[in-house]
Amino acid sequence: MSLKKFKPTTPGQRHKVALQFGEVTKSTPEKSLITKKKKSGGRNNDGKMTMRHIGGGHKQKYRVIDFKRNKFDIPATVKAIEYDPNRTANIALLYYADGEKRYIVAPNGLQAGDTVISGKNATPNVGNAMYLSDIPLGTMIHNIELQPGKGGSISRGAGTYAQLNARDGKYAIIKMPSGETRMILITCLATIGSVSNPEHNLTVSGKAGRTRWLGRRPRVRPVVMNPVDHPMGGGEGKNSGGHPRSRNGIPAKGYKTRAKSKYSNKFIIERRKK
């Protein structure tokens, strides 16, 4: 996707940088693969606000995505690349040879008319889902499972990818998008290639209203609050603040919150860079 800069005809257009959806080939979703999406406004079942900064936004329908890729050895044709309001990446509509339709997270470079397949007989081509035991070393992958059969949970955002560095016994050594290196069972599935829409992080909304369309309400900086509202509130004039911390008093910026006895610590070879 390419980026488009706008002429400053209005204050909201002045700094706006938007994506041009040249890769998207279909504007309406597949009816059989959408469900309704209910908004909570950040309230729980008592009507009490339990999450701040949520509310409003454009009405959306949820596209049911196949993260498991468990339809093995049946080729599928990419019918269309579509926009999905629920994620930063594009999605691809697949028509399987047996007539079933499914959505997947679209890899970068996948186009309408291409054929993808998953399973032991798949080749390391973009969009194919393979076991970590069969993927060539050094390959870029995304939509990676952490537990066999659970479905991909790693590297699903726009432009992200991980790299298969090595294999050691029943584990594959993966360099994650964060820079962390960890071990994952070789019986887990992953999809070849990087995720589509890599320029998503270069977009500039241009105005606050566009954030409201996404369902996000304004944030108030802690240092301008009263002491009753936040640990960093209070003070005379601009003499306020203190050590950066959350509303609950948990320090930020360097304070480690990961449990020392967490079960997955043994799978992490190298932590992400600070």
User: What's the rounded Cα separation, in Å, for the pair 102 and 135?
Assistant: 23
pLDDT computed for residue 175 by the predictor: 97
* Domain span including residue 85: 21-201
- Any domain includes 152: yes
Q: Are residues 85 and 156 in the same domain?
A: yes
Calculate ∠ Cα 103-77-143, nearest 5°. 45
CB 87 within 8 A of CB 142: no
Radius of gyration over alpha carbons of the chain, in Å?
22
pLDDT computed for residue 9 by the predictor: 97
CATH number at residue 90: 2.40.50.140
Q: Are residues 157 and 41 in the same domain?
A: yes
CA distances from 193 to 106, 133, 144, 162, 259 (A): 10, 16, 11, 9, 33
CB 118 within 8 A of CB 127: no
Q: Are residues 51 and 143 in the same domain?
A: yes
Q: Are residues 238 and 102 in the same domain?
A: no
pLDDT computed for residue 247 by the predictor: 93
- Torsion, Cα 110 115 119 124, to 10 degrees, reads -50
Number of domains within the chain: 2
pLDDT computed for residue 237 by the predictor: 86
Q: Are residues 149 and 248 in the same domain?
A: no
Q: Are residues 99 and 156 in the same domain?
A: yes
Q: Are residues 128 and 245 in the same domain?
A: no
Q: Are residues 83 and 121 in the same domain?
A: yes
* Backbone angles phi and psi of 65, in degrees to 5: -100, 140
Structure tokens at 51: 């999450």
The label of the residue with tokens 């998503």 reads: 200
pLDDT computed for residue 255 by the predictor: 92
Q: Are residues 175 and 229 in the same domain?
A: no
Q: Are residues 176 and 91 in the same domain?
A: yes
Q: Are residues 126 and 249 in the same domain?
A: no
Alpha helical stretches, state H, the chain = 11-14, 208-213
Q: Are residues 230 and 197 in the same domain?
A: no
Quick one: residue 251, left, alpha or beta (phi over 0 = left, psi -120 to 50 = alpha)? beta
Ranges of residues in the chain whose predicted pLDDT is under 70: 1, 274
pTM exceeds 0.75? yes
- Any domain includes 210: no
User: What's the rounded Cα separation, in Å, for the pair 134 and 57?
Assistant: 43
pLDDT computed for residue 267 by the predictor: 96
